Amino acid sequence: MLDFLNYYLYNGQRKKKGNQKMKDEFLEILKQVKREGIEQLINFLEKSDFFIAPASTRFHGNHEGGLVEHSIKVYEILKHKVQNCIQTIEIPEESIIIIGLLHDICKTNFYKIDYRNAKNALGVWEKVPYYTVEDTIPYGHGEKSVMMLTEYIKLTPEEKYAIRWHMGYTEPKENYNAIGASYTKYPIALLTHEADLEATYLFGI
Ligand SMILES: [Fe+2]
Ligand SMILES: [Fe+2]
């Protein structure tokens, strides 16, 4: 029994360390951004659940720290895409950081843990935690990220469009024309959508 307990304690600590490492990495990258208001934005993130939130309830990154992990991965893929794009894309590194790391800031204070009854391996009923949505700022998704960010920092048009339309054609079809026009006008927005998909489906985070 003690071994069993130790195993869980050990794994819990390992997870915490992993989350701390991700948080440190995230902040190290974000602090390269020198823009008015960035410190206040970081303060907000620190006080919120951003660094322990999952990236989704059931799909990609549905574990503690999943949101930070997903955001770093999107940033890395986006950077790679910009550098290797078939078309030259002139965009400051600062914009790639803001778009990649903060496109899903809308998921801050968005999930909560609830419990349901389930049978364990021994056939005994027990309470099992799961993530559910409790949207404290019901303002959409990409548009909500833009709204939240602009409360702290000014965004360039490229940053706004890339974050607004990062969900691509999973948006309602009434938005397809605007999405297409935005991707033509700001190719970084298209690359952001692709990077988001690749983090989710190629890396599972
Ligand atoms: Fe998203
Ligand atoms: Fe995302």
Q: Are 159 and 99 in contact (CB under 8 A)?
A: yes
Facing residues of 112 across strands? 132
> In angstroms, how far apart are the furthest CA atoms of the chain?
61
pLDDT-based confidence at residue 1 (cuts at 50, 70, 90): very low
Q: What is the pLDDT of residues 37-48, one digit of tens each?
A: 999 999 999 999
Ligand nearest to the CA of 142: 1
Q: Are 130 and 113 in contact (CB under 8 A)?
A: yes
Q: What is the pLDDT of residues 125-178, one digit of tens each?
A: 999 888 998 898 999 999 999 999 999 999 999 999 999 999 999 999 999 999
Ligand nearest to the CA of 67: 2
Ligand 2: distance of its center to the CA of 176 in Å? Answer: 19
Q: What Cα–Cα distance (Å) separates residue 168 from each residue in 26, 136, 165?
A: 25, 24, 6
Helix 187-201 crosses helix 157-164 at what angle (to 10 degrees)? 40
Ligand 2: distance of its center to the CA of 174 in Å? Answer: 21
User: What is the model's pTM?
Assistant: 0.90
Ligand 1: distance of its center to the CA of 142 in Å? Answer: 7
Ligand 2: distance of its center to the CA of 88 in Å? Answer: 24
